[in-house]
Structure 1
Amino acid sequence: MEFTDALNIEILRLVDCHSIDLVYAHWVGDIHHDHQAVARASLHSCRHVPRMLMYRSNWYHSNLDFRGNFYVDITDFWTLKEQAIRAHVSEMNRTGEKWIQFFKNEAGNAGQRIGVKYAEVFEVVKWLES
């Protein structure tokens, strides 16, 4: 995946076609090349979308800090999230249960910060209420 005009145009087309008003994007500090490209394209192409949140999607360290400042209680949905993670077969084959445990620990730590069992944390790019 590369940050190109073609990618930007496709994202713009999808935003317009579906009247998207909330975007979840990879965090721009992610060290995975594809994730960075999509994050940059999302920031560029979704600049007129009123709400945008970024998320960390892997366990690799970066030289940038993820500034998680928007929390969602996912306690009732942890099983569904785990199923979604397990659907990423190539990563499950590569990492096994370590990947599941990492994300469960992350959700537990985020939940502890806000007083629930499990939470998802995002970095707010913008959040416009109308």
Structure 2
Amino acid sequence: MNNLDGLAHYALDQVDRLRRAQERLEQASAEGRSPDGLVVARTGAGGMLRDLRIDESALRSGADRLSHAVTAAITAAQAAYNEQAEDIMGGEMGMRPSEGSEFDRGIARIDELTEQLEDLTRRMDR
């Protein structure tokens, strides 16, 4: 029974860590600027654009130049958010998504442990 308690505690702890990471990721945002600093973008989870500020002088620079500035600001904001997300996941889960297979194996192991725990709980309820 002690082994089952340890497994349950571990699985619940991992699920709680994932929940905290998810909450932090949803609340996080990052800012990026165009090279000339006239366009500022703020993005959040999933690359969602949360805010875009364009200096009036950028509006007079022409459509093509403005388009490049907006794209650069959004791209910079998304890159900054990705760095922040890496830090959040690294802090909560002890590994960063950019570490690839280690992170994927860790998530797969959490899923496996959760399924085992649910199966054991069902058997105990019978």
Shorter-chain TM range is under 0.3
Q: Which structure's CA Rg is the greater one?
A: 2
TM-score by length of 1: 0.25
TM-score by length of 2: 0.25
